[in-house]
Amino acid sequence: MEALRMEHITKIYPNGFVANKDITFSVQQGEIHALVGENGAGKTTLMKVLFGMEQPQEGSIYVNEQKVNIKSPLEAISLGVGMVHQHFMLLPSMTVAQNVTLGMEPKKRGLVDAEKAVQMTQEMSDKYHFGLDARARVSDLSVGLMQKVEILKALIRGAKVLILDEPTAVLTPQETRELFEQLKLLRENGHSLIFISHKLEEVMELCNNVTVLRHGYCNGTHPIEELDAAKISRLMVGRDVVLKIEKEDPKPGKPILEVKDLVCVNSEGKNAVDNVSFSIREGEVVGIAGVEGNGQSFLSDAISGMIKYDSGSVKLNGQEVGGMKIKDIRQAGMSVIPEDRMTVGCVNDLSVRSNAIADRYDKKENMSGIFLNGGKQKEITEAMIKEFEISCDSQDEAIRFLSGGNIQKVVVAREFTSGANFIIANQPTRGVDVGTAEMIRKYLVRMTRENGIGSLLISADLNEVLEVSDRLFVMRQGKIVAAFPKANVVDVDELGEYMLGIRTMTAEEMEGLL
Amino acid sequence: MNNAKKIETWFDLFRILVAVAVAYVIALIILAVISDDPVYVIGQFIAGPFSTFRRFGNILTTMIPIMFTGVCMCFVYAINKFNLVGEGAVNLGGCLSACVAIALSDKVPVWLLLIIVLAVGALAGMACSLIPALADQIFHADVCVVSLMMNYILLYVTSYILKYQIKDPGSSITASYKWTAGLKLGNLIPGTSVHFGFLIAIACVVIAAVLFYKMSFGYRMRVVGMNPVFAKYIGMPVMATIILAQVIGGAFAGIGGTVQVIGMFQSYQWTSLTGYGFDGLMIAVLARKNPAFVPLSAFLIAYIRTGADIVSRTTDIPPEFVSIIQGIIIVLVAAEMFLSGFKSRLIFNSARKALAQKEEKA
């Protein structure tokens, strides 16, 4: 029997981004259904639509073969759809029973019946062998147990379809194994589970069917028997348009950036960047490929001074970057195109000009005495608008009125013209139109070759890393797991296997390439 | 895109006007209900402030202290930290200036004394706002709570100074010794109570506007206030900017205290909070944190105050009702969502029209 069916779902966000395009998928009762795809492929949006957090433009949803209209998570819950979020939504200072029964507390004479709440929670936990103590305070629990509380929360509300958004991301291997046993038990009990994950070995072990999303489109649903990890990886990663960038071979000069044994610890105490060492030389673009969330952002933030790293060293032009002010790091020759242009790369409410001159407004040549030099600022901005073909009504227009591509052009223009000799480009073309993306890529290559700067390109877009980079690394779980001397001859399928952890290079294989 | 921008630009102004109009309508309804002679009262309330030259002067006089605190709050508001110590800064600035004025009366020339007391006021205000700012940045103590509590500490400190250090035993009211008559700010417009403090206030507005829009500090401050993550990424000293903006704001409030004390009186008499600091918040909100608009919004508030004052003196209506009007205006102006449905409908409609035109062409 079909527990759930989503038909022809199309979701377009108000900024015009098409997150889901005509996606149809269904989940049988008593199965674990994997939903896989790269970041940005539309998995989360699709699940938000199912859980009533987003409204689709087109399409319909059937629960137990009845057409339903899910307008809010409350309605989703009442229809028996539960969601276990990747980031726990628990109140740490309350007990397990209080968290689980929150909002549906058992009552006795108008008062909360705490004893009953504990009893209900304990029964449910024992039924599925969760091993929870209903009276324990959530803040005292391990991450693995917290996740069980989350699952319990959904089950006690009568969830028959359970969405698990990357449930193993925060778990240790032992906890993962335990979780899988319990998920299988749920399946035997007739629950349907939607399992979102990047970890293909887990998908292979646990799931009955796999639906693959790519760039907002559905790439088919396949029974697990027909697949192996390499096949899934090909379906997920793929390579749609072949884009070619003409460039001669690099003639790398002296090293500009040297990263040695770098370690960054994240808020959960795990090594987000785990003993990474590499160097970037004059005149070359070094690419880092990888599924997002494998330490690329931490690496970029640590190098650019946005976060303090925990050990190791980062040297820019021979100078240790750790402990330096960001202003001084920039002065020492670094430019950064940040991953998130709207929250990091610009100030939405300020004008194009104010955004364009943000790194150089107080340079002596751009001031007139103690006052800002408006004329000079206009000149600088005008030059950028011309060179980068930024389309805006005027420099005084607030930058948020520009299209995504044009905002990115302002950011790129500022960072490329700052006079730096090292540039970090973190997802430089995400969400921008094809023309702008091409221009940014070509510019990066040209700047690197002609001006002898060193570039670090971090991107989830495989076309981009393969075409733009000279050397290419793959990052997974905070480590560099593969290194290639020439990016444009790397085989995509092979790359996908390294990204998804099917293969890993040994230190000897990467010798001399870092 | 272009249309959306136009709509957004005009919408802020439109919203403030609607807020003021709604507040006025509510005020008129209240007046009509509680008054025996509503037509006369309403006439006095609306036209009264302009009916004589003296009353018009009262508007300008009322504007003086709240322009200073309005400028103060523009800095605080621009940096997105609700440091409300302007209130206490007015008291401390006024009180310490009075102490210095009493001590140095007839010992230094009047022009020098004026500069000294203004400097004392500024320093006092800076010290006041520095404490909550540091508590916020270093200990993560909520700047709003600390500053509100500090206002009372400052009030009692100044009351102590007044009652035990500078009180003139010969005076029938609680007042300090008098300072030299030469220090009192002279009359600016004959026939009114407007004094030279008005010009000092305007000068402060100009200085603040230049600082905001013509100097690198102002640019930095606006960037930090609007997007601190960007400010950090681009290499701005975020923490220093946040603290300095509050300190500069405090200086303006402190000067405001000094000017009010030496402009209106010849002795220090404040035994309660003046309310100017909180008025400053209202004015900064109305001025959309742009110091250049402070005189305009101060004028609006002063006009309403003066009207209420006339009503309470000439009719049976208590002056408290003016607080109701102010409250309504602020709630409506500060509420981002007020009329926002209307705004998004406007933007949506224009976007749809643009799309239809595009499709027609294609």
- The tens digit of pLDDT for each residue in A432-447 reads 777 788 889 999 999 8
Instruction: Give CA–CA dist B161/B270, Å, rounded.
Output: 11
pLDDT tens digits, B292-344: 999 999 998 898 888 888 888 887 777 777 677 777 776 776 665 566 666 66
pLDDT of residue B1: 44
Out of B215, B226, B233, closest to residue A372 by CB: B215
Q: Which residues contact B160 (CB under 8 A, 6 or more apart)?
A: none
What value of ipTM does the predicted structure carry?
A: 0.81
Confidence of residue A119 (pLDDT cuts 50, 70, 90): very high
CB atoms near residue B341 (< 10 Å)? 9
A173-188 helix and A143-156 helix, angle to the nearest 10 degrees: 20
Which position has the higher pLDDT, A384 or B10?
A384
Closest residue in chain B to residue A361, using alpha carbons only: B216
Residue A237, pLDDT > 90, answer no
What is the distance in angstroms between the Cα of A319 and the nearest Cα belonging to chain B?
17
Q: Do B226 and A358 touch (CB under 8 A)?
A: no
CA A64 vs CA A81, A162, A184, B196: distances in Å: 11, 14, 21, 80
Tokens 């209903």: give the residue.
A134
With beta carbons less than 8 A apart as the criterion, state whether B278 and B87 touch.
yes
CB atoms near residue B324 (< 10 Å)? 14
Within chain B, how many helices (H) and strands (E) appear? 14, 0
Residue A14, pLDDT > 80, answer no
Instruction: Give CA–CA dist B45/B31, Å, rounded.
Output: 10
Closest residue in chain B to residue A358, using alpha carbons only: B234
Residue A241, pLDDT > 60, answer no
Instruction: Give CA–CA dist A10/B91, Å, rounded.
Output: 62
Q: Do B5 and A304 touch (CB under 8 A)?
A: no
The boundaries of every CATH 3.40.50.300 domain in chain A are 2-237, 253-333+420-514
Closest residue in chain A to residue B4, using alpha carbons only: A401
| Contacting A residues, span 246-265, partner chain B, CB-CB under 8 Å | none
Rounded to an integer, the average pLDDT of A424-436 is: 83
With beta carbons less than 8 A apart as the criterion, state whether B274 and B258 touch.
no
Q: Which residues of B touch A345 (CB under 8 A)?
A: 230, 233
Q: Give the helix ranges, DSSP H, for A362-479.
A: 374-387, 404-416, 434-451, 462-468
Q: Which residues of A touch B229 (CB under 8 A)?
A: 343-344
Shortest CA distance to A344 belongs to which of A334, A355, A354?
A: A355
In sequence order, the β-bridge partners of residue B195 are B187
Main-chain phi, psi angles of A87, to 5 degrees: -100, 120
Q: Do A401 and B5 touch (CB under 8 A)?
A: yes
DSSP A445: H
Out of B2, B220, B230, closest to residue A393 by CB: B2
Confidence of residue B351 (pLDDT cuts 50, 70, 90): low
Q: Do B226 and A336 touch (CB under 8 A)?
A: no
Residue B187, pLDDT > 80, answer yes
Q: Do A338 and B226 touch (CB under 8 A)?
A: no
CB atoms near residue B206 (< 10 Å)? 13
Letter string b/e over residues A333-361, b meaning 16 or more CB atoms within 10 A of that residue's CB: bbbbbbbebbebbbbeebbbbbbbbbbbb
Write a three-state SS string for A318-366: CEECCCCCHHHHHHCCEEEECCCHHHHHCCCCCEHHHHHCCCCCCCHHH
Instruction: Give CA–CA dist A250/A466, Å, rounded.
Output: 15
Q: Which residues of B fall below an 8 Å CB-CB distance to A? A: 1-2, 4-5, 210, 214-216, 219-220, 222-223, 226-227, 229-230, 232-237
Interface test with A, best of B7, B212, B221, B230 (most A CBs within 10 A): B230
Q: Do A344 and B230 touch (CB under 8 A)?
A: yes
Q: Do B235 and A329 touch (CB under 8 A)?
A: yes
Q: Which residues of B touch A361 (CB under 8 A)?
A: 216, 219
CB atoms near residue A56 (< 10 Å)? 22
Q: Do A397 and B223 touch (CB under 8 A)?
A: no
CA A490 vs CA A234, A279, A290, A466, B121: distances in Å: 14, 20, 14, 7, 70
pLDDT tens digits, A359-380: 999 888 888 889 999 999 999 9
Out of B4, B214, B226, closest to residue A350 by CB: B226
Q: Do A372 and B219 touch (CB under 8 A)?
A: yes
CA B83 vs CA A218, A275, B117, B248: distances in Å: 52, 44, 24, 12
What is the distance in angstroms between the Cα of B286 and the nearest Cα belonging to chain A?
18
pLDDT of residue A455: 95
pLDDT tens digits, A170-184: 677 778 888 899 899
Q: Which residues of A touch B235 (CB under 8 A)?
A: 325-330, 359
Q: Which residues of B touch A337 (CB under 8 A)?
A: none
Instruction: Give CA–CA dist B223/A362, Å, rounded.
Output: 13
pLDDT of residue A355: 94
How many Cβ pairs closer than 8 A exist between chain A and B?
69
Contact of A304 with chain B, judged by CB distance below 8 Å, is answered with: yes
Instruction: Give CA–CA dist A498/A290, Å, rounded.
Output: 8
pLDDT tens digits, A290-318: 887 788 999 999 999 999 999 999 999 99
Q: Which residues of B touch A327 (CB under 8 A)?
A: 235-237
With beta carbons less than 8 A apart as the criterion, state whether A427 and A417 touch.
no
Tokens 């402060």: give the residue.
B204
Tokens 């507390």: give the residue.
A105
What single letter denotes the amino acid at residue B104? L
Out of A328, A330, A346, closest to residue B230 by CB: A346
- Terminus-to-terminus CA distance in chain B, angstroms? 19
What single letter denotes the amino acid at residue B135? A
DSSP A136: S
Q: Which residues of A touch B217 (CB under 8 A)?
A: none
Out of B4, B5, B233, closest to residue A336 by CB: B233
CA B334 vs CA B18, B130, B328: distances in Å: 13, 26, 10
pLDDT tens digits, A20-60: 888 998 999 999 999 988 766 788 889 999 999 888 888 99
Residue A242, pLDDT > 60, answer no
Residue A482, pLDDT > 50, answer yes
What is the distance in angstroms between the Cα of A120 and the nearest Cα belonging to chain B?
40
pLDDT of residue B259: 94
CATH pick for A253-333+420-514 out of 2.60.40.350, 3.40.50.300, 3.40.50.150, 3.40.50.460: 3.40.50.300
pLDDT of residue B229: 94
Q: At CA A30, angle to CA A28 and CA A36, rounded to 5?
A: 60
What is the distance in angstroms between the Cα of A329 and the nearest Cα belonging to chain B?
8
Q: Do A327 and B230 touch (CB under 8 A)?
A: no
What is the distance in angstroms between the Cα of A448 and the nearest Cα belonging to chain B?
22
Main-chain phi, psi angles of A409, to 5 degrees: -65, -40
Tokens 């960037």: give the residue.
B223
What's the CATH architecture for A2-237? 3-Layer(aba) Sandwich (3.40)
Within chain A, how many helices (H) and strands (E) appear? 17, 24
Q: Which residues of A touch B2 (CB under 8 A)?
A: 393, 401
Q: Which residues of A touch B206 (CB under 8 A)?
A: none
Which position has the higher pLDDT, B300 or A238?
B300
Q: Do A354 and B219 touch (CB under 8 A)?
A: yes
Q: Do B227 and A348 touch (CB under 8 A)?
A: yes
Instruction: Give CA–CA dist B333/B265, Å, rounded.
Output: 35
Q: Which residues of B touch A325 (CB under 8 A)?
A: 235, 237
Interface test with B, best of A372, A380, A390 (most B CBs within 10 A): A372
For A44, the token pair is 């989360």
Q: Which residues of A touch B5 (CB under 8 A)?
A: 393, 397-398, 401
Out of B2, B223, B233, closest to residue A306 by CB: B233
Write a three-state SS string for A254-320: CEEEEEEEEEEECCCCCEEEEEEEEEEECCCEEEEECCCCCCHHHHHHHHHCCCCCCEEEEEECCEE
Q: Do B215 and A371 touch (CB under 8 A)?
A: yes
Helix, strand, coil abundance in chain B, percent, nearest 5: 80, 0, 20
CB atoms near residue A101 (< 10 Å)? 24
Gyration radius of chain A's alpha carbons: 25
pLDDT of residue B183: 83
Closest residue in chain B to residue A414, using alpha carbons only: B234
Q: Do A347 and B230 touch (CB under 8 A)?
A: yes
Q: Which residues of A touch B216 (CB under 8 A)?
A: 361-362, 367, 372
